[in-house]
Structure 1
Amino acid sequence: MGRQILRNSLKSLYELQEIDLRIDGLDSEKAQLLSEAQALEAKLADAREKIAARREEARTLEEEKGAMEANLKSEGENITRSEAHLKEIKTQKEYQAVSKEISTAKKLIAELEDQILQKINAIEEINVDVTKKEADLAELEGNVATQKGEVEAKVQSLDSGIAVDVATREQTVKGLPASVMKRYSRLRDQRRGVAVVEAKEGNCMGCNMHLPPQLYNTLFRADDVITCPHCQRILIMKQEVEG
Protein backbone atom coordinates (compact mmCIF):
# COMPACT_ATOMS: atom_id res chain seq x y z
CA MET A 1 0.00 0.00 0.00
CA GLY A 2 1.52 3.35 -1.06
CA ARG A 3 2.19 6.05 1.50
CA GLN A 4 -0.42 8.44 0.11
CA ILE A 5 -2.99 5.64 -0.24
CA LEU A 6 -2.27 4.57 3.35
CA ARG A 7 -2.54 8.15 4.57
CA ASN A 8 -5.89 8.46 2.80
CA SER A 9 -7.02 5.17 4.32
CA LEU A 10 -6.04 6.32 7.79
CA LYS A 11 -7.85 9.59 7.22
CA SER A 12 -10.95 7.69 6.08
CA LEU A 13 -10.66 5.37 9.08
CA TYR A 14 -10.43 8.36 11.39
CA GLU A 15 -13.51 9.90 9.75
CA LEU A 16 -15.32 6.55 9.91
CA GLN A 17 -14.54 6.31 13.63
CA GLU A 18 -16.01 9.77 14.19
CA ILE A 19 -19.15 8.85 12.21
CA ASP A 20 -19.57 5.53 14.03
CA LEU A 21 -19.14 7.13 17.44
CA ARG A 22 -21.68 9.77 16.50
CA ILE A 23 -24.11 7.06 15.34
CA ASP A 24 -23.44 5.14 18.58
CA GLY A 25 -24.32 8.26 20.55
CA LEU A 26 -27.50 8.85 18.57
CA ASP A 27 -28.51 5.20 18.89
CA SER A 28 -27.88 5.36 22.64
CA GLU A 29 -29.93 8.54 22.96
CA LYS A 30 -32.72 6.98 20.90
CA ALA A 31 -32.67 3.84 23.06
CA GLN A 32 -32.93 6.03 26.16
CA LEU A 33 -35.90 7.90 24.70
CA LEU A 34 -37.65 4.66 23.74
CA SER A 35 -36.98 3.35 27.25
CA GLU A 36 -38.57 6.51 28.67
CA ALA A 37 -41.60 5.98 26.42
CA GLN A 38 -41.90 2.40 27.67
CA ALA A 39 -41.64 3.64 31.26
CA LEU A 40 -44.50 6.08 30.60
CA GLU A 41 -46.63 3.26 29.19
CA ALA A 42 -45.74 1.08 32.19
CA LYS A 43 -46.82 3.92 34.50
CA LEU A 44 -50.19 4.09 32.76
CA ALA A 45 -50.58 0.30 32.85
CA ASP A 46 -49.79 0.30 36.58
CA ALA A 47 -52.39 3.00 37.27
CA ARG A 48 -55.00 1.09 35.26
CA GLU A 49 -54.18 -2.17 37.03
CA LYS A 50 -54.62 -0.51 40.43
CA ILE A 51 -58.04 0.80 39.39
CA ALA A 52 -59.01 -2.64 38.09
CA ALA A 53 -57.84 -4.23 41.36
CA ARG A 54 -59.92 -1.80 43.43
CA ARG A 55 -62.96 -2.46 41.25
CA GLU A 56 -62.43 -6.18 41.75
CA GLU A 57 -62.33 -5.58 45.53
CA ALA A 58 -65.64 -3.72 45.28
CA ARG A 59 -67.15 -6.52 43.17
CA THR A 60 -66.08 -9.13 45.73
CA LEU A 61 -67.54 -7.05 48.55
CA GLU A 62 -70.79 -6.64 46.60
CA GLU A 63 -71.01 -10.42 46.20
CA GLU A 64 -70.34 -10.94 49.92
CA LYS A 65 -72.94 -8.26 50.78
CA GLY A 66 -75.43 -9.96 48.47
CA ALA A 67 -74.89 -13.30 50.19
CA MET A 68 -75.34 -11.66 53.60
CA GLU A 69 -78.53 -9.92 52.47
CA ALA A 70 -79.86 -13.29 51.27
CA ASN A 71 -79.07 -14.79 54.68
CA LEU A 72 -80.66 -11.79 56.35
CA LYS A 73 -83.86 -12.29 54.36
CA SER A 74 -83.84 -16.02 55.13
CA GLU A 75 -83.39 -15.43 58.85
CA GLY A 76 -86.15 -12.82 58.80
CA GLU A 77 -88.51 -15.32 57.16
CA ASN A 78 -87.50 -17.93 59.76
CA ILE A 79 -88.38 -15.54 62.57
CA THR A 80 -91.73 -14.73 60.99
CA ARG A 81 -92.56 -18.43 60.71
CA SER A 82 -91.31 -19.16 64.24
CA GLU A 83 -93.33 -16.29 65.74
CA ALA A 84 -96.43 -17.57 63.94
CA HIS A 85 -95.67 -21.03 65.25
CA LEU A 86 -95.50 -19.73 68.84
CA LYS A 87 -99.25 -19.14 68.77
CA GLU A 88 -99.87 -22.82 68.09
CA ILE A 89 -97.49 -24.24 70.71
CA LYS A 90 -99.11 -26.12 73.57
CA THR A 91 -96.16 -27.05 75.84
CA GLN A 92 -93.82 -24.81 77.80
CA LYS A 93 -90.76 -26.80 76.67
CA GLU A 94 -91.51 -26.39 72.99
CA TYR A 95 -92.33 -22.71 73.55
CA GLN A 96 -88.93 -22.15 75.16
CA ALA A 97 -87.14 -23.99 72.32
CA VAL A 98 -88.83 -21.89 69.63
CA SER A 99 -88.26 -18.71 71.61
CA LYS A 100 -84.56 -19.59 71.78
CA GLU A 101 -84.48 -20.14 68.03
CA ILE A 102 -86.07 -16.72 67.50
CA SER A 103 -83.58 -15.10 69.88
CA THR A 104 -80.63 -16.74 68.13
CA ALA A 105 -81.99 -15.71 64.73
CA LYS A 106 -82.45 -12.09 65.89
CA LYS A 107 -78.87 -12.06 67.19
CA LEU A 108 -77.64 -13.40 63.87
CA ILE A 109 -79.69 -10.76 62.05
CA ALA A 110 -78.10 -8.01 64.14
CA GLU A 111 -74.63 -9.37 63.31
CA LEU A 112 -75.49 -9.64 59.61
CA GLU A 113 -76.85 -6.08 59.55
CA ASP A 114 -73.63 -4.86 61.17
CA GLN A 115 -71.49 -6.81 58.68
CA ILE A 116 -73.58 -5.55 55.75
CA LEU A 117 -73.11 -1.99 56.96
CA GLN A 118 -69.35 -2.56 57.12
CA LYS A 119 -69.42 -3.90 53.54
CA ILE A 120 -71.43 -0.87 52.37
CA ASN A 121 -68.92 1.51 54.01
CA ALA A 122 -65.98 -0.39 52.51
CA ILE A 123 -67.58 -0.33 49.05
CA GLU A 124 -68.22 3.41 49.34
CA GLU A 125 -64.59 4.01 50.34
CA ILE A 126 -63.40 1.97 47.35
CA ASN A 127 -65.74 3.86 45.00
CA VAL A 128 -64.38 7.18 46.27
CA ASP A 129 -60.83 5.88 45.82
CA VAL A 130 -61.62 4.61 42.28
CA THR A 131 -63.12 7.99 41.35
CA LYS A 132 -59.96 9.74 42.54
CA LYS A 133 -57.72 7.23 40.78
CA GLU A 134 -59.70 7.63 37.56
CA ALA A 135 -59.29 11.42 37.75
CA ASP A 136 -55.55 10.97 38.40
CA LEU A 137 -55.37 8.52 35.48
CA ALA A 138 -57.08 10.97 33.13
CA GLU A 139 -54.55 13.65 34.11
CA LEU A 140 -51.70 11.17 33.76
CA GLU A 141 -52.93 10.09 30.32
CA GLY A 142 -52.85 13.72 29.21
CA ASN A 143 -49.33 14.22 30.56
CA VAL A 144 -48.10 10.97 29.05
CA ALA A 145 -49.60 11.84 25.67
CA THR A 146 -47.72 15.16 25.74
CA GLN A 147 -44.46 13.56 26.85
CA LYS A 148 -44.78 10.75 24.30
CA GLY A 149 -45.35 13.33 21.59
CA GLU A 150 -42.13 15.08 22.62
CA VAL A 151 -40.27 11.76 22.70
CA GLU A 152 -41.57 10.76 19.26
CA ALA A 153 -40.48 14.12 17.82
CA LYS A 154 -37.00 13.67 19.30
CA VAL A 155 -36.79 10.10 17.99
CA GLN A 156 -37.75 11.27 14.51
CA SER A 157 -35.06 13.93 14.68
CA LEU A 158 -32.51 11.35 15.81
CA ASP A 159 -33.56 8.98 13.03
CA SER A 160 -32.97 11.76 10.51
CA GLY A 161 -29.51 12.38 11.94
CA ILE A 162 -28.71 8.67 11.95
CA ALA A 163 -29.85 8.33 8.33
CA VAL A 164 -27.51 11.16 7.25
CA ASP A 165 -24.58 9.61 9.13
CA VAL A 166 -25.32 6.14 7.73
CA ALA A 167 -25.28 7.54 4.19
CA THR A 168 -21.97 9.31 4.87
CA ARG A 169 -20.60 6.13 6.41
CA GLU A 170 -21.46 4.10 3.32
CA GLN A 171 -19.50 6.54 1.15
CA THR A 172 -16.54 6.50 3.54
CA VAL A 173 -16.43 2.69 3.71
CA LYS A 174 -16.25 2.50 -0.11
CA GLY A 175 -12.81 4.12 0.00
CA LEU A 176 -11.36 1.62 2.47
CA PRO A 177 -9.77 -1.75 1.64
CA ALA A 178 -11.76 -4.80 2.81
CA SER A 179 -8.84 -6.00 4.95
CA VAL A 180 -8.68 -2.67 6.81
CA MET A 181 -12.45 -2.66 7.34
CA LYS A 182 -12.34 -6.20 8.69
CA ARG A 183 -9.68 -5.23 11.22
CA TYR A 184 -11.57 -2.04 12.10
CA SER A 185 -14.87 -3.89 12.64
CA ARG A 186 -13.21 -6.54 14.78
CA LEU A 187 -11.56 -3.91 16.97
CA ARG A 188 -14.84 -2.01 17.31
CA ASP A 189 -16.44 -5.18 18.68
CA GLN A 190 -13.53 -5.88 21.02
CA ARG A 191 -12.85 -2.34 22.25
CA ARG A 192 -16.28 -0.95 23.12
CA GLY A 193 -16.76 0.74 19.78
CA VAL A 194 -13.39 2.50 19.64
CA ALA A 195 -11.04 1.02 17.03
CA VAL A 196 -9.00 4.08 15.98
CA VAL A 197 -7.21 6.27 18.50
CA GLU A 198 -4.73 9.10 18.40
CA ALA A 199 -1.07 8.70 19.31
CA LYS A 200 -0.02 11.81 21.16
CA GLU A 201 3.17 12.79 22.98
CA GLY A 202 4.42 9.21 22.85
CA ASN A 203 1.25 7.69 24.33
CA CYS A 204 -1.76 5.74 23.01
CA MET A 205 -4.79 7.87 23.82
CA GLY A 206 -6.95 4.73 23.84
CA CYS A 207 -5.32 2.95 26.76
CA ASN A 208 -2.96 5.76 27.94
CA MET A 209 0.02 3.41 27.74
CA HIS A 210 3.45 4.64 26.59
CA LEU A 211 4.38 3.63 23.05
CA PRO A 212 7.86 2.33 22.15
CA PRO A 213 9.86 5.22 20.63
CA GLN A 214 10.58 3.28 17.43
CA LEU A 215 6.87 2.54 16.87
CA TYR A 216 5.96 6.15 17.59
CA ASN A 217 8.50 7.33 15.03
CA THR A 218 7.11 4.88 12.45
CA LEU A 219 3.73 6.58 12.70
CA PHE A 220 5.20 9.74 11.19
CA ARG A 221 6.32 7.86 8.07
CA ALA A 222 2.85 6.34 7.41
CA ASP A 223 4.40 3.20 5.94
CA ASP A 224 1.85 0.78 7.41
CA VAL A 225 -1.24 0.47 9.59
CA ILE A 226 0.23 0.59 13.10
CA THR A 227 -1.59 -0.78 16.13
CA CYS A 228 -0.98 -0.17 19.82
CA PRO A 229 0.97 -3.10 21.33
CA HIS A 230 -1.10 -2.78 24.51
CA CYS A 231 -4.74 -2.40 23.36
CA GLN A 232 -4.32 -3.33 19.67
CA ARG A 233 -6.27 -0.29 18.47
CA ILE A 234 -5.24 1.33 15.19
CA LEU A 235 -3.02 4.35 15.83
CA ILE A 236 -3.10 7.60 13.90
CA MET A 237 -1.24 10.88 14.16
CA LYS A 238 -3.97 13.50 14.13
CA GLN A 239 -1.89 16.07 12.28
CA GLU A 240 -1.26 13.50 9.56
CA VAL A 241 -4.92 12.64 8.93
CA GLU A 242 -6.01 16.27 9.19
CA GLY A 243 -3.32 17.52 6.87
Structure 2
Amino acid sequence: MRNNLKLLGELQEIDLKIDLLHGEKDTLLGEIAALENSVVEARNVIAEKSAEAVSLEEAKKALEESLAVESENIVRSEARLKEIKTQKEYQAVSKEISSAKKLTVELEEQILQKVGQFEELQKVMAEKQENLNALEVNIAAQQGELQTKVDKLEAEIAAGVVAKDAAVKGLPASIMKRYYKLRDQRRGLAVVEAKDGSCLGCNMNLPPQLYNSLFRGDDVITCPHCQRMLILRQETEN
Protein backbone atom coordinates (compact mmCIF):
# COMPACT_ATOMS: atom_id res chain seq x y z
CA MET A 1 0.00 0.00 0.00
CA ARG A 2 2.91 2.35 0.68
CA ASN A 3 3.92 1.95 -2.96
CA ASN A 4 0.35 2.72 -4.05
CA LEU A 5 0.39 5.90 -2.00
CA LYS A 6 3.70 6.87 -3.55
CA LEU A 7 2.33 6.21 -7.03
CA LEU A 8 -0.80 8.23 -6.22
CA GLY A 9 1.33 11.20 -5.25
CA GLU A 10 3.40 10.85 -8.41
CA LEU A 11 0.27 10.46 -10.53
CA GLN A 12 -1.27 13.60 -9.06
CA GLU A 13 1.91 15.59 -9.76
CA ILE A 14 2.02 14.29 -13.32
CA ASP A 15 -1.64 15.14 -13.91
CA LEU A 16 -1.23 18.62 -12.47
CA LYS A 17 1.78 19.19 -14.69
CA ILE A 18 -0.16 17.94 -17.73
CA ASP A 19 -3.08 20.21 -16.79
CA LEU A 20 -0.70 23.16 -16.57
CA LEU A 21 0.87 22.30 -19.93
CA HIS A 22 -2.57 22.03 -21.53
CA GLY A 23 -3.47 25.43 -20.08
CA GLU A 24 -0.31 26.98 -21.51
CA LYS A 25 -0.96 25.32 -24.84
CA ASP A 26 -4.56 26.58 -24.94
CA THR A 27 -3.31 30.10 -24.19
CA LEU A 28 -0.82 29.92 -27.06
CA LEU A 29 -3.44 28.51 -29.41
CA GLY A 30 -5.71 31.38 -28.39
CA GLU A 31 -2.96 33.84 -29.27
CA ILE A 32 -2.49 32.15 -32.65
CA ALA A 33 -6.24 32.30 -33.27
CA ALA A 34 -6.28 35.99 -32.33
CA LEU A 35 -3.47 36.68 -34.81
CA GLU A 36 -5.33 34.78 -37.53
CA ASN A 37 -8.49 36.69 -36.68
CA SER A 38 -6.71 40.04 -37.07
CA VAL A 39 -5.71 39.02 -40.60
CA VAL A 40 -9.26 37.88 -41.37
CA GLU A 41 -10.64 41.20 -40.12
CA ALA A 42 -8.17 43.14 -42.25
CA ARG A 43 -9.11 41.07 -45.30
CA ASN A 44 -12.80 41.60 -44.58
CA VAL A 45 -12.28 45.38 -44.50
CA ILE A 46 -10.58 45.21 -47.90
CA ALA A 47 -13.40 43.02 -49.20
CA GLU A 48 -15.95 45.57 -47.98
CA LYS A 49 -14.05 48.38 -49.66
CA SER A 50 -13.87 46.31 -52.84
CA ALA A 51 -17.64 45.83 -52.70
CA GLU A 52 -18.04 49.58 -52.28
CA ALA A 53 -15.84 50.10 -55.34
CA VAL A 54 -18.01 47.74 -57.37
CA SER A 55 -21.14 49.60 -56.25
CA LEU A 56 -19.59 52.94 -57.23
CA GLU A 57 -18.65 51.56 -60.63
CA GLU A 58 -22.20 50.27 -61.16
CA ALA A 59 -23.69 53.59 -60.05
CA LYS A 60 -21.31 55.47 -62.35
CA LYS A 61 -22.21 53.19 -65.25
CA ALA A 62 -25.93 53.77 -64.63
CA LEU A 63 -25.35 57.55 -64.60
CA GLU A 64 -23.35 57.36 -67.82
CA GLU A 65 -26.16 55.40 -69.47
CA SER A 66 -28.68 58.01 -68.32
CA LEU A 67 -26.40 60.75 -69.63
CA ALA A 68 -26.14 59.03 -73.00
CA VAL A 69 -29.94 58.75 -73.19
CA GLU A 70 -30.42 62.44 -72.33
CA SER A 71 -27.74 63.47 -74.83
CA GLU A 72 -29.50 61.50 -77.56
CA ASN A 73 -32.81 63.09 -76.59
CA ILE A 74 -31.27 66.55 -76.89
CA VAL A 75 -29.90 65.76 -80.34
CA ARG A 76 -33.28 64.47 -81.51
CA SER A 77 -35.14 67.40 -79.98
CA GLU A 78 -32.79 69.92 -81.58
CA ALA A 79 -33.33 68.20 -84.92
CA ARG A 80 -37.10 68.50 -84.42
CA LEU A 81 -36.82 72.26 -83.94
CA LYS A 82 -36.00 72.64 -87.60
CA GLU A 83 -39.27 70.95 -88.57
CA ILE A 84 -41.60 72.71 -86.12
CA LYS A 85 -44.13 75.09 -87.68
CA THR A 86 -45.92 76.58 -84.67
CA GLN A 87 -44.53 78.85 -81.98
CA LYS A 88 -46.27 76.92 -79.23
CA GLU A 89 -44.74 73.63 -80.22
CA TYR A 90 -41.34 75.31 -80.66
CA GLN A 91 -41.47 76.66 -77.12
CA ALA A 92 -42.49 73.25 -75.74
CA VAL A 93 -39.60 71.48 -77.46
CA SER A 94 -37.16 74.23 -76.45
CA LYS A 95 -38.27 73.76 -72.85
CA GLU A 96 -37.67 70.01 -73.14
CA ILE A 97 -34.19 70.67 -74.48
CA SER A 98 -33.44 73.11 -71.69
CA SER A 99 -34.59 70.62 -69.04
CA ALA A 100 -32.59 67.83 -70.66
CA LYS A 101 -29.43 69.96 -70.78
CA LYS A 102 -29.89 70.86 -67.12
CA LEU A 103 -30.23 67.17 -66.31
CA THR A 104 -27.10 66.30 -68.28
CA VAL A 105 -25.13 68.84 -66.27
CA GLU A 106 -26.39 67.25 -63.06
CA LEU A 107 -25.56 63.79 -64.35
CA GLU A 108 -22.06 64.87 -65.34
CA GLU A 109 -21.52 66.31 -61.87
CA GLN A 110 -22.73 63.10 -60.28
CA ILE A 111 -20.44 61.08 -62.54
CA LEU A 112 -17.46 63.23 -61.57
CA GLN A 113 -18.41 62.78 -57.93
CA LYS A 114 -18.49 59.01 -58.36
CA VAL A 115 -15.12 59.11 -60.11
CA GLY A 116 -13.63 61.09 -57.21
CA GLN A 117 -15.10 58.70 -54.66
CA PHE A 118 -13.79 55.72 -56.62
CA GLU A 119 -10.28 57.16 -56.83
CA GLU A 120 -10.28 57.95 -53.12
CA LEU A 121 -11.51 54.45 -52.37
CA GLN A 122 -8.73 52.97 -54.48
CA LYS A 123 -6.16 54.90 -52.44
CA VAL A 124 -7.69 53.60 -49.22
CA MET A 125 -7.72 50.04 -50.57
CA ALA A 126 -4.10 50.29 -51.67
CA GLU A 127 -3.10 51.54 -48.23
CA LYS A 128 -5.05 48.82 -46.45
CA GLN A 129 -3.61 46.16 -48.77
CA GLU A 130 -0.12 47.40 -48.00
CA ASN A 131 -0.89 47.26 -44.28
CA LEU A 132 -2.32 43.77 -44.70
CA ASN A 133 0.81 42.56 -46.48
CA ALA A 134 2.99 43.89 -43.65
CA LEU A 135 0.60 42.39 -41.08
CA GLU A 136 0.71 38.97 -42.72
CA VAL A 137 4.53 38.96 -42.72
CA ASN A 138 4.66 40.05 -39.07
CA ILE A 139 2.00 37.60 -37.98
CA ALA A 140 3.59 34.73 -39.88
CA ALA A 141 6.74 35.27 -37.84
CA GLN A 142 4.78 35.46 -34.57
CA GLN A 143 2.77 32.36 -35.46
CA GLY A 144 5.97 30.49 -36.17
CA GLU A 145 7.35 31.36 -32.74
CA LEU A 146 4.08 30.46 -31.02
CA GLN A 147 3.77 27.19 -32.92
CA THR A 148 7.30 26.25 -31.88
CA LYS A 149 6.25 26.75 -28.26
CA VAL A 150 3.07 24.73 -28.87
CA ASP A 151 5.10 21.88 -30.38
CA LYS A 152 7.41 21.90 -27.35
CA LEU A 153 4.43 21.80 -24.98
CA GLU A 154 2.87 18.93 -26.94
CA ALA A 155 6.13 16.99 -26.62
CA GLU A 156 6.14 17.61 -22.85
CA ILE A 157 2.49 16.57 -22.64
CA ALA A 158 3.25 13.37 -24.54
CA ALA A 159 6.12 12.61 -22.14
CA GLY A 160 3.79 13.29 -19.23
CA VAL A 161 1.21 10.90 -20.63
CA VAL A 162 3.86 8.16 -20.89
CA ALA A 163 4.86 8.75 -17.27
CA LYS A 164 1.21 8.79 -16.24
CA ASP A 165 0.52 5.50 -17.99
CA ALA A 166 3.42 3.93 -16.11
CA ALA A 167 2.05 5.18 -12.78
CA VAL A 168 -1.50 4.06 -13.56
CA LYS A 169 -0.38 0.52 -14.41
CA GLY A 170 0.93 0.13 -10.90
CA LEU A 171 -2.32 1.15 -9.22
CA PRO A 172 -5.43 -0.99 -8.60
CA ALA A 173 -8.51 -0.20 -10.70
CA SER A 174 -10.55 0.56 -7.57
CA ILE A 175 -8.11 3.28 -6.48
CA MET A 176 -7.99 4.74 -9.99
CA LYS A 177 -11.78 4.90 -10.07
CA ARG A 178 -11.80 6.91 -6.85
CA TYR A 179 -8.94 9.05 -8.08
CA TYR A 180 -10.64 10.06 -11.34
CA LYS A 181 -13.93 10.68 -9.59
CA LEU A 182 -12.22 13.03 -7.16
CA ARG A 183 -10.33 14.70 -10.01
CA ASP A 184 -13.68 15.54 -11.60
CA GLN A 185 -15.22 16.72 -8.35
CA ARG A 186 -12.25 18.69 -6.98
CA ARG A 187 -11.03 20.61 -10.01
CA GLY A 188 -8.26 18.19 -10.83
CA LEU A 189 -6.86 17.85 -7.30
CA ALA A 190 -7.63 14.37 -5.99
CA VAL A 191 -4.53 13.73 -3.88
CA VAL A 192 -3.15 16.21 -1.35
CA GLU A 193 -0.51 16.26 1.32
CA ALA A 194 -1.33 16.06 4.99
CA LYS A 195 1.05 18.10 7.12
CA ASP A 196 1.16 19.20 10.75
CA GLY A 197 -2.20 17.61 11.40
CA SER A 198 -3.99 19.43 8.57
CA CYS A 199 -5.20 18.65 5.05
CA LEU A 200 -3.41 20.98 2.64
CA GLY A 201 -6.26 20.60 0.17
CA CYS A 202 -8.89 22.34 2.30
CA ASN A 203 -6.65 23.57 5.17
CA MET A 204 -8.87 21.88 7.74
CA ASN A 205 -7.54 20.10 10.82
CA LEU A 206 -7.61 16.31 10.65
CA PRO A 207 -8.72 14.09 13.55
CA PRO A 208 -5.52 13.08 15.42
CA GLN A 209 -6.23 9.36 15.11
CA LEU A 210 -6.78 9.67 11.35
CA TYR A 211 -3.64 11.76 10.93
CA ASN A 212 -1.55 9.28 12.89
CA SER A 213 -2.84 6.42 10.78
CA LEU A 214 -1.27 8.08 7.74
CA PHE A 215 2.16 7.26 9.13
CA ARG A 216 1.41 3.55 8.92
CA GLY A 217 0.64 3.83 5.20
CA ASP A 218 -1.46 0.68 5.16
CA ASP A 219 -4.57 2.18 3.53
CA VAL A 220 -5.78 5.01 1.30
CA ILE A 221 -7.19 7.59 3.71
CA THR A 222 -9.37 10.52 2.64
CA CYS A 223 -9.93 13.87 4.26
CA PRO A 224 -13.26 13.90 6.13
CA HIS A 225 -13.81 17.50 5.02
CA CYS A 226 -12.94 17.60 1.30
CA GLN A 227 -12.78 13.81 0.66
CA ARG A 228 -9.45 14.09 -1.13
CA MET A 229 -6.93 11.27 -0.80
CA LEU A 230 -4.22 12.07 1.73
CA ILE A 231 -0.50 11.36 1.57
CA LEU A 232 2.45 12.21 3.74
CA ARG A 233 5.21 13.76 1.68
CA GLN A 234 7.96 12.10 3.71
CA GLU A 235 6.37 8.74 2.99
CA THR A 236 6.38 9.35 -0.78
CA GLU A 237 9.92 10.65 -0.81
CA ASN A 238 11.60 7.80 1.09
* TM-score normalised by L of structure 2: 0.97
The structure 1 residue matched to 2:182, chosen from 184, 187, 202, is: 187
Matched, 1:45 2:40: yes
Kindly state the Cα deviation for residue 79 of structure 1 after the two structures are TM-superposed.
0.7
Residues in 2 aligned to 1:112 and 1:240: alpha-carbon distance in whole angstroms: 93
The structure 1 residue matched to 2:103, chosen from 96, 103, 108, is: 108
Aligned to 2:160: 165
Amino acid corresponding to residue 182 of structure 1 in structure 2: K
Matched, 1:235 2:203: no
The 5 A counterparts of 1:172-211 are 172-211=167-206
Aligned to 1:61: 56
Q: State the identity %.
A: 62
Matched, 1:149 2:139: no
- 1:121-179 CA-to-partner distances (Å, cap 9, x unmatched) read 11111101100010011001101110111111111111111111111111111111111
Kindly state the Cα deviation for residue 47 of structure 1 after the two structures are TM-superposed.
0.9
Kindly state the Cα deviation for residue 223 of structure 1 after the two structures are TM-superposed.
2.7
Residues in 1 aligned to 2:131 and 2:212: alpha-carbon distance in whole angstroms: 68
Amino acid corresponding to residue 149 of structure 2 in structure 1: K
Residues in 2 aligned to 1:69 and 1:170: alpha-carbon distance in whole angstroms: 76
Q: What secondary structure does 2:140 align onto? A: helix
The structure 1 residue matched to 2:85, chosen from 79, 86, 90, is: 90
Kindly state the Cα deviation for residue 217 of structure 1 after the two structures are TM-superposed.
1.7
The structure 1 residue matched to 2:129, chosen from 131, 134, 141, is: 134
Structure 1: which 5+ runs fail to align? 1-5
Structure 2: which 5+ runs fail to align? none
Amino acid corresponding to residue 16 of structure 1 in structure 2: L
Aligned to 1:21: 16
Residues in 2 aligned to 1:200 and 1:167: alpha-carbon distance in whole angstroms: 30
Amino acid corresponding to residue 194 of structure 1 in structure 2: L
Amino acid corresponding to residue 125 of structure 1 in structure 2: E
Q: What secondary structure does 1:221 align onto? A: coil
Q: What secondary structure does 1:235 align onto? A: strand
Aligned to 2:28: 33
Aligned Cα RMSD in Å? 1.1
Residues in 2 aligned to 1:24 and 1:212: alpha-carbon distance in whole angstroms: 31
* TM-score normalised by L of structure 1: 0.95
Amino acid corresponding to residue 8 of structure 1 in structure 2: N
Q: What secondary structure does 1:220 align onto? A: coil
- 1:67-113 CA-to-partner distances (Å, cap 9, x unmatched) read 10011011011111111211221111101100110111111111111
Q: Would you identify which runs of 4 or more consecutive aligned residues in structure 1 move more than 3 Å?
A: none
- 1:19-51 CA-to-partner distances (Å, cap 9, x unmatched) read 111111111111111121111111111111110
Q: What secondary structure does 2:194 align onto? A: strand
